[in-house]
């Protein structure tokens, strides 16, 4: 247990010194805010790590709720954290999409029945594609993501999930 505590403390120290945002993050958050969409951070990270990362990226006022894997009976790759986020936000999965950078996170979102944008920022495309993301992008500036979001804007009201399915990779 001491080893794990030390490891997490080291992570927080390193993250507080150098945690650059994924390219295009603030463009995406502005797009989301401009449309008044509800949002949740869903993570398996320990609470202190999640709070640090959210704060360091300047997102403490962006998320309506933070759901930790430890808040649920089962963490990712199970869908429970995403289903809890839907419940807390009181939103339908038909009007939701997820951004994930891990195989377990993509699996959780897919199992919850929502479209998942997979980010190849931490894991290779070959690993993430196995989890069946709806769309796989390099970062939040990727033209494929913005093509999908522009299409959503054109078809507002018809359901995000339905529109994202058009871009499915598999």
Which is more confidently placed, 1 or 70? 70
Q: Are strands 40-43 and 98-100 parallel, antiparallel or unpaired?
A: unpaired
pTM across the whole model: 0.84
Q: Which long-range contacts link 71-75 to residues 24+ away (Cβ below 8 Å)?
A: 75/44
User: If you average pLDDT over residues 123-136, what whole number do you get?
Assistant: 95
Give me the mean pLDDT over the 117-136 stretch.
94
Average pLDDT score over residue span 139-166: 77
- Structural domains in the chain, CATH included, are 23-165 (3.40.50.1000)
pLDDT of residue 87: 96
Contact present, 45 and 53 (Cβ < 8 Å): yes
Model confidence at 94, pLDDT cuts 50, 70, 90, reads confident
Identify the band that residue 169 occupies on the pLDDT scale cut at 50, 70 and 90: very low
% of the chain beyond a pLDDT of 90 = 62
Higher confidence at residue 59 or residue 155? 59
Does residue 13 carry a pLDDT above 90? no
8 A C-beta contact, residue 96 and residue 72: no
CA distance 170 to 162: 15
How high is the mean pLDDT of the chain?
Answer: 86
Per-residue pLDDT tens digits for 35-66: 899 999 999 999 988 998 898 889 999 999 99
């Amino acid at each position: 247990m001491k080893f794990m505590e030390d490891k997490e403390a080291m992570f927080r120290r390193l993250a507080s010194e150098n945690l650059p945002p994924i390219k295009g993050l603030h463009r995406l958050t502005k797009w989301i805010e401009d449309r008044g969409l509800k949002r949740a951070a869903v993570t398996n990270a320990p609470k202190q790590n999640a709070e640090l990362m959210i704060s360091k990226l300047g997102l403490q006022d962006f998320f309506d709720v933070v759901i930790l894997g430890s808040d649920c009976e089962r963490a990712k790759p199970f869908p429970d954290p995403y289903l809890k986020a839907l419940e807390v936000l009181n939103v339908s999965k038909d009007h939701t999409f997820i951004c994930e950078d891990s195989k377990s996170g993509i699996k959780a979102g897919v199992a919850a029945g929502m479209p998942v944008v997979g980010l190849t920022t931490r894991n290779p495309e070959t690993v993430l594609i196995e989890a069946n993301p709806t769309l796989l992008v390099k970062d939040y500036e990727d033209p494929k993501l913005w093509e999908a979001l522009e299409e959503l804007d054109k078809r507002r009201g018809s359901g995000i999930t339905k529109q994202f399915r058009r871009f499915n990779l598999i």
